[in-house]
Chain A
Amino acid sequence: MNLNRSISWKSTFKNLYVFSVLALIIIIFSSISSNFIGAPNITNIIRQSVPLLLVSTSVTLLMMSGNIDLSVGGILGLCSVVFSIMINAGSGYFMAAVLTLLLGVFIGFFNGFLVVRLRIVPVIATLATMSLCVGLGKLMSPGGIGLIKGLPEDIVGFGRTPFLLRLPISVYVAAAVIIVLVVLQRKTLLGKYAAAIGGNSTAAELSGINVVKTVWLLYVIVGLCAALAGITRTSLLSLGDPVTGMGMEMDAMIAVVLGGTSFSGGEGSVARTVIGVLVLMCLTAGMQVIGAEAYYQTIVKGIVLIIAVVVDVLVKEKIDD
């Protein structure tokens, strides 16, 4: 049947699409500069992509249910600040990390509350949360905008120091988290229900799914991952910075949409989002390697987001014809 053909064309297209974009980028940049494909650069790319990986993969699940979270950058920044303050105050790494993660869970819970209980539109609700997080983070930083410095030397132990195969522990932790999320998405009720809610929330309700609880949980997961991303970022930079996460919400959306997860929900893939993140990181790293100044990144990201979203819409339209 014609319909069958076009739908399976769509899934194959989506699967190939993001891989080919990644391949393309790698090819282009390595041909311009041999530095690109060298080991130190790749190590750098991978360890710097940990925060974005954590955020994007958790956001994938949320977007599958048809919801959005613009506060992830703010959560990351606030957690970075809180974590740094606790370390500087003498707390052990483990304790500080646990408390920071709890903070992330709480903020995620708050987001969920605003969206499903108070029924505030996700865009506004999460923008408000972002404002609160950045505001709080800045207040806690010296001078209101300063960075938290003077962290002990070994803070980089988590995010920078090579642990195995020249990659830091954070990479392996992120890999574990990603695997958990992939399993959640593919093999558990949560993943299935997220897709069902995004695909047809009326049918989901009628089948007995508790939409409120499911979406709430998804926001909590995003909060938790954003907190972990904040800890990693602190470790990478050796600083606590309330605005270090600015723009991450857009990066996450780019990675997710590049990975083929539809913005309107119903389907998606955490695994493909990972590739989307790699595309983005290669793009930024590649631009650095060929000597483009940092300020070119913004417009490139904007163009990539627009192209990715347009492709998503066009592919969907082709199916409906």
Chain B
Amino acid sequence: MRNLNAQNNANSRISNLTFAILSMLVVLVVIFTIASICVPRFFDINNISNLIAQQAEIIILGIGVTFLLIAGYFDMSVGGIISMAAVLSAYFCQATGAAANDLGSGLGLGYGTAIALTLICCMAIGALNALLVVKLKVNSVIATLGTMAVARGIAMIVAKGAQRITGLPEEFCAIGQFTIIGTINLAVVISIILLIIALIIENKTIFGRRIYLIGANQTAAKLSGINVDRQVAILYITSAFLAGISGIVMASRFNAGNCALGTGYEFDALVITVLGGTSIFGGFGSVTCAVVGAFILGILSTSVNMLGFQPSMQMLVKGVVIIVSILALRFALNKRNV
């Protein structure tokens, strides 16, 4: 029974994860094809490059959320961190002094410094998450809902409920608006770089492997010498960092620090992660799932728009899609493993 090369059961050569990702890729291709046929002007270079660009921000978020979900934890604070990062990145580099109202003047720091400071603040929120969930053992959903409110609250205070739009340096809109080809902007480049790093971590590093171990069986992980507390803390801080990048990019795209940015993004991040195949229960998933999920959702949303439906149709779509994908994947994997 040691025939490792025998393929008695072809299925056992492809892992469950590969199966899930491939299945969702097939779904993606199918939906793309259907959309190209049924939706007028869908199969158009402008439209498609738009589609790709739009996914950049949510994919960056998806990386952090995916890692935490694989380890078995939720992070609902990312939406709030986005808005905090957007507003702070504007505030830090807004010109100081003589402006008509408070919202027009900021700290006047360089854009680079502003970004660095903003990211530090975001990581502080991540550290707060780690403290609550890992150290104090509060339920991760509730704790991160609380920190989401804190982060968004900071954004709302600094932006006085509105946005900081004046006195921003020229570079501010560079990331979001400077395009390379068509609508592929710097944000897309950043997201690709981050994705590659994430994939390497996930597949090729001890740290990445440990995320799966913790999610698969936390008790066994502890007994195998893994410092679970420290690892999960790092994951929360990383997720907050990534949400910060996403927020900075978003603010750049709108050329404004608007505290309403990022609303609902924590749900979107969950949707694309789960849609692409990452399991709610932990121990199973990949950042590729988030990418595939993002594009599936993107195609669905764009099609809905282009077919003339109201934008609020998208919320319906998201709700249906997340339920259907959980059930479908569960069904498919059960059948496969019987």
Chain A residues in contact with chain B, CB under 8 A? 68, 114, 118, 120-121, 123-125, 127-132, 134-139, 143-145, 242, 250, 253, 257, 263-264, 293-303, 305-306, 309-310, 313-314
* B274 on interface, CB distance cutoff 8 Å: yes
Query: Which of the listed residues B147, B151, B156, B274 has the most CB atoms from chain A within 10 Å of its own CB?
Result: B156
A123 close to B160 (CB less than 8 A): no
A138 touching B315, Cβ below 8 Å: yes
Cβ–Cβ < 8 Å partners of B82 in chain A: none
Interface 9-residue window, one of B9-17, B22-30, B137-145, B186-194: B137-145
Report yes or no: B161 in contact with A293, Cβ–Cβ below 8 A: yes
Give bound CA distance, A300 to B274, whole Å: 32
Q: Are the CB atoms of A305 and B316 closer together than 8 Å?
A: no
Closest partner residue, chain B, to A254 (CB atom): B146
Supposing A132-B316, A139-B313 touch, asked if A310 and B149 sit within 8 A by C-beta, the answer is no
Whether the Cβ atoms of A305 and B315 lie closer than 8 Å is no
A246 to chain B, nearest CB (A): 9
| Cα distance A182–B315 in the bound complex, in angstroms | 35
Q: Tell me the smallest distance from the CB of B63 to a CB of chain A, in Å.
A: 19
User: For B143, what are the chain A residues with a Cβ–Cβ distance below 8 Å?
Assistant: 306, 309
Decide if B322 touches A124 in the complex (CB within 8 Å).
yes
Interface string of B273-291 (1 = CB under 8 A from A): 0100000110000000000
B235 within 8 Å of A by Cβ? no
Roughly how many angstroms separate A145 CA and B322 CA in the complex, as a whole number? 23
Instruction: Please tell me if the beta carbons of B153 and A294 are within 8 angstroms of each other in the complex.
Output: no
Complex contact B132–A306 (CB within 8 A) = yes
Q: How far is the CA of A313 from the CA of B159 in the complex (A)?
A: 34
Decide if B315 touches A134 in the complex (CB within 8 Å).
Answer: yes
Q: Assuming the A-B contacts A138-B310, A250-B149, A293-B161, are A299 and B315 also in contact, with contact meaning beta carbons closer than 8 angstroms in the complex? A: no
- Select which of B138, B150, B311 is within 8 A of A303 by beta carbon: B150
- Which residue of A120, A135, A302 is within 8 Å of B150 (Cβ)? A302
Decide if B130 is an interface residue (CB 8 Å cutoff): no
Closest Cβ of chain B to A135, distance in Å, is 3
Separation in Å of the B190 CB from the closest CB of chain A? 28
* CB-contact partner of B74 in A118, A123, A296, A309, under 8 A: A123
Size class of the B contact interface (CB-based, 8 Å): 35 or more
Given contacts A302-B147, A306-B143, A309-B138, contact A295 B157 (CB under 8 A): yes
Contacts beyond the supplied A242-B312, A299-B156: 10 A-B pairs with Cβ under 8 Å = A114-B323, A123-B74, A127-B270, A134-B312, A144-B312, A294-B161, A295-B160, A306-B147, A309-B142, A313-B138
A131-B267, A145-B312, A310-B138 known; A305 and B145 CB under 8 Å?
yes
* Majority DSSP secondary structure for residues of A touching B: helix
Interface centre among B281, B315, B322, by most chain A C-beta atoms within 10 angstroms, is B315
Q: Using Cβ atoms and an 8 Å threshold, which residues of chain B touch A293?
A: 160-161
Q: Are B146 and A306 in contact (CB under 8 A)?
A: yes
Which of A130, A294, A313 has the most C-beta atoms of chain B within 10 angstroms of its own C-beta?
A313
Convert B120-132 into 0s and 1s, putting 1 for each residue whose CB lies closer than 8 angstroms to a CB of A. Answer: 0000000000001
Residue-wise interface mask of B (234-255) relative to A, using a CB-CB cutoff of 8 A (1 in contact, 0 not): 0000000000000000000000
In the A-B complex, list the 4 residue pairs whose CB atoms are closest, starting with the nearest: A299-B153, A302-B149, A135-B315, A138-B312
Min CB distance, A47 to chain B, in Å? 25
In chain B, what residue has the closest Cβ to A303? B150
Task: Tell me the bound Cα distance from A125 to B311 in angstroms.
Answer: 22
Q: Is the CB of A128 within 8 A of B323?
A: yes
User: Contact at B314–A135, with CB atoms within 8 Å?
Assistant: yes
Residues of B at under 8 Å CB distance from A?
A: 74, 132, 136-139, 141-143, 145-154, 156-157, 159-161, 259, 267, 270, 274, 280-281, 310-320, 322-323, 326-327
A131 touches B315 (CB 8 A): yes
Please tell me if the beta carbons of B153 and A296 are within 8 angstroms of each other in the complex: yes
Residues of B within 8 A of A127 (CB): 267, 270, 322
Residues of B near A313 (CB, < 8 A) are 136-138
> Is the Cβ of A129 less than 8 Å from the Cβ of B319?
yes
| Contact A302:B153 (CB < 8 A) given known A124-B322, A131-B267 | yes
Contact A296/B157 with A114-B323, A124-B274, A310-B138 known, Cβ cut-off 8 Å: yes
Q: Which residues of B contact A137 (CB under 8 A)?
A: 312
What's the least CB distance linking B263 to chain A, in Å?
9
Q: How far is the CB of A59 from chain B (nearest CB, A)?
A: 13
Q: Is the CB of B157 within 8 A of A299?
A: yes
- Name A300's contact: one of B153, B310, B326 (CB within 8 Å): B153
Give the distance to chain B from A228, nearest Cβ to Cβ, in Å: 23
Q: How far is the CA of A264 from the CA of B139 in the complex (A)?
A: 9
Residue of A nearest to B161 (CB): A295
CB distance from B129 to the nearest CB of A (A): 10
B328 CB, nearest partner CB in chain A, Å: 12
28 A/B residue pairs, CB under 8 Å, sorted by A:
A118-B327, A124-B274, A124-B280, A124-B322, A125-B323, A128-B323, A131-B316, A135-B315, A135-B318, A138-B315, A139-B312, A143-B310, A144-B310, A242-B312, A263-B142, A295-B157, A295-B159, A295-B161, A296-B157, A301-B149, A301-B153, A302-B147, A302-B148, A302-B151, A303-B146, A306-B147, A309-B142, A313-B137
Most buried by A among B159, B267, B270, B323: B323
Chain A residues within an 8 Å CB radius of B320: 128, 132
Chain A residues near B136: list those with CB within 8 A.
Answer: 310, 313-314
How many Å from the CB of A2 to the closest CB on chain B? 24
Is A131 a contact of B156 with CB atoms below 8 Å?
A: no
**Which chain B residues border A253 with CB–CB below 8 Å?**
142, 145
| In contact, B280 and A121 (Cβ under 8 angstroms) | yes
Q: Which of A120, A127, A242, A298 has the largest count of B CB atoms less than 10 A from its CB?
A: A298
Please give the distance in Å from A103's CB to the nearest CB on chain B: 16
A121 surroundings in chain B (CB, below 8 A): 280-281
Query: Are A299 and B149 in touch, CB under 8 angstroms?
Result: yes
Given contacts A121-B280, A296-B157, A313-B138, contact A136 B316 (CB under 8 A): yes
Do B319 and A298 touch across chains, with their CB atoms under 8 A apart?
no
